[in-house]
Amino acid sequence: MTPPSVDQVWEWLETIPDPEIPVITLVDLGIIRDVAFHGETCVVSVTPTYSGCPATSMINMDIETCLRDHGLDRIELKQQLSPAWTTDWMSDKARAALEEYGIAPPQPAGGPTRCPHCGGTHLEKLSQFGSTPCKAQWRCKDCLEPFEYFKCI
Amino acid sequence: MTVDKNLLLQFLLRQGDNTLILGHRVSEWCGHSPVLEEDIALANTALDLIGQTQMWLGYAAEVQGEGKTADDLAFLRDAWDFRNVLLTELPNGDFGQTLMRQFLFDAFQSVLMGRLMSSSDETVAAIAAKTSKEVAYHVERSADTVVGLGDGTEESHARMQAALDFLWPYVGEMFESDETDAAMAAAGIAPDPASLRAEYDALVARVLAEATLTLPEGRYAHKGGRTGRMHTEHLGHLLAQMQWLQRAYPGCEW
């Protein structure tokens, strides 16, 4: 078969949801750093969000499954450590999707700007850590609901 | 400048064993913390430490060049092969002692990783850059908790002071220098640990003052972990639990 173009591979990858936060895709998250063909092998470079994130192996499996489903059989996944992943690479589309989903998107100021449920701005931090390494727990003092905040790193 | 492969391996084992052993210790809290948020926070901290271990020991295995993996180094070495500082293998004690140990270690990591980001070894620099982002969160949380408990109730204050008095003699080992450190410093791979002490002391003094805790005067340091000369009796027990599955069922996979 004729190998697909790099752009085509990116299009396929753009359909893969994050295993923990399915409203955003791996491409939105900014963790797929490069796609290239080395001969007939499709090399995808992926950078981990947090070094111990248990979703990493699931993410690799999802990428491989997706590409195999599109007929690629020579696939190499490369872990790329540097430059280290930053939430700056997250797309605006992903930020909006996170908030819609109930997770406050990362902010350079180091904390959420408003409650993703009611838009309230009287917020307090409950814990530096949440249900995944990338999130912290906050609470809105206006609607009294707890919510998760995607940490800015 | 090229560096002796065995010395670089020693340096990498020291990094990876620190995070592995402390990561395992912290994971022992899973399901036992005083409140749910703290349980989640400790589990997340342990997870980060184990993740960092995969990077350090993964690179160590590569440098070693014997076809081993990070898992082989973690699960198939014995106590005398480990190069972690004694501080990381000490039992958890109460919640306050765990968080005091975490703070004393996080403070060291925050200073060291900042320097390692400009290491002449690209892989070391990349691991440090990744790690430092996580360490920033760890030290912020452990420092806040030390302040909260130290400057808390009479009971929590007394426990935190006791934890500090017990753990302080294990701090000095982190700043010990030997021929491995000299070689790393000469090659621009890592700073001489002794050169980090002033910055560390300033950071620790600031937090402990806010926590209304008194820094012990003595500078006596229990040593032997990072050289592997003599670990505490606790390491063997920890390894027995951590390595049991791989030892009983060699090659077993998840």
- The pLDDT value given to residue B99: 98
- The pLDDT value given to residue A133: 82
In chain B, the number of structural domains is: 1
Q: Which of residues 134-163 of B touch A (CB under 8 A)?
A: 134, 136-137, 140-141
| Residues of chain B neighbouring A83 (CB-CB closer than 8 A) | 129
**Phi and psi at residue A93, to the nearest 5°:** -60, -40
Strand A135-140 to A123-127 pairing: antiparallel
Contacts of B252 (CB under 8 A, 6+ apart): B245, B246
Distance CA(B244)–CA(B254), nearest Å, equals 14
Which of B47, B53, B106, B124 should we substitute to test contact with A (largest number of A Cβ atoms within 10 Å)? B47
Specify if B253 maps to a domain: no
| Each residue's pLDDT tens digit, B217-227 | 988 999 999 99
Do the chains contact at A50 and B134, CB–CB below 8 Å? yes
| Residues of chain A neighbouring B49 (CB-CB closer than 8 A) | 52
CB atoms near residue B230 (< 10 Å): 12
Query: Tokens 């190499």 — which residue?
Result: A76
CA distances from A150 to A98, A110, A130, A147, B52 (A): 9, 10, 9, 10, 21
- The alpha-carbon gap from B126 to the nearest alpha carbon of chain A, in Å, equals 5
Do the chains contact at B129 and A83, CB–CB below 8 Å? yes
Domain residue spans in chain A?
6-85, 94-150
Residue of B nearest to A83 (CA): B126
- The pLDDT value given to residue B98: 98
Do the chains contact at A127 and B41, CB–CB below 8 Å? yes
B37 touches chain A (CB under 8 A): yes
Specify if B11 maps to a domain: yes
Distance CA(B50)–CA(B47), nearest Å, equals 5
| Each residue's pLDDT tens digit, A18-77 | 998 999 999 999 999 999 999 999 999 999 888 888 888 899 999 999 999 999 999 999
pLDDT per residue as tens, chain B (254 positions): 578 999 999 999 999 999 999 999 999 999 999 888 899 999 999 999 999 999 999 999 999 999 999 999 999 999 999 999 999 999 999 999 999 999 999 999 999 999 999 999 999 999 999 999 999 999 999 999 999 999 999 999 999 999 999 999 999 999 999 999 999 999 999 999 999 999 999 999 999 999 999 999 988 999 999 999 999 999 999 999 999 999 999 999 87
Here the ipTM equals: 0.85
Report residue A130's pLDDT band, with 50, 70 and 90 as the boundaries. confident
B243 touches chain A (CB under 8 A): no
Distance CA(A64)–CA(B88), nearest Å, equals 38
A140 pairs with which residues across the strands?
A123
| CATH number of B140's domain | 1.20.1260.10
The answer to whether B182 and B192 have CB atoms below 8 angstroms apart is yes
- The pLDDT value given to residue A1: 65
Specify if B254 maps to a domain: no
Residue of A nearest to B35 (CA): A127
- The pLDDT value given to residue A56: 86
Sign of the Cα torsion B30, B31, B32, B38 reads: positive
Distance CA(A55)–CA(B71), nearest Å, equals 18
Q: Domain span at residue B106?
A: 5-248
3-class secondary structure, A3: coil
Do the chains contact at A52 and B41, CB–CB below 8 Å? no
- Exposure string (b/e) for A67-101, b if CB count within 10 Å is 16 or more? beeeebeebeeeebbeebbebeebeeebbebbbee
- The pLDDT value given to residue A50: 87
3-class secondary structure, A85: coil
Distance CA(B109)–CA(B87), nearest Å, equals 13
Specify if B63 maps to a domain: yes
- The pLDDT value given to residue B1: 58
- Exposure string (b/e) for A48-58, b if CB count within 10 Å is 16 or more? bbbbbbebbee
- What number of CA atoms fall less than 13 Å from residue B167's CA on the CB side? 28
Do the chains contact at B127 and A81, CB–CB below 8 Å? yes
The answer to whether B105 and B88 have CB atoms below 8 angstroms apart is yes
First to last CA, chain B: 41
B42, two tokens: 């400790």
Residue of B nearest to A130 (CA): B40
- The pLDDT value given to residue B218: 86
Cβ contacts from A onto B, under 8 A: 69
Do the chains contact at A51 and B140, CB–CB below 8 Å? no
Query: Which CATH number applies to A6-85: 3.90.1200.10, 2.60.40.1180, 3.40.50.1370, 3.30.300.130?
Result: 3.30.300.130
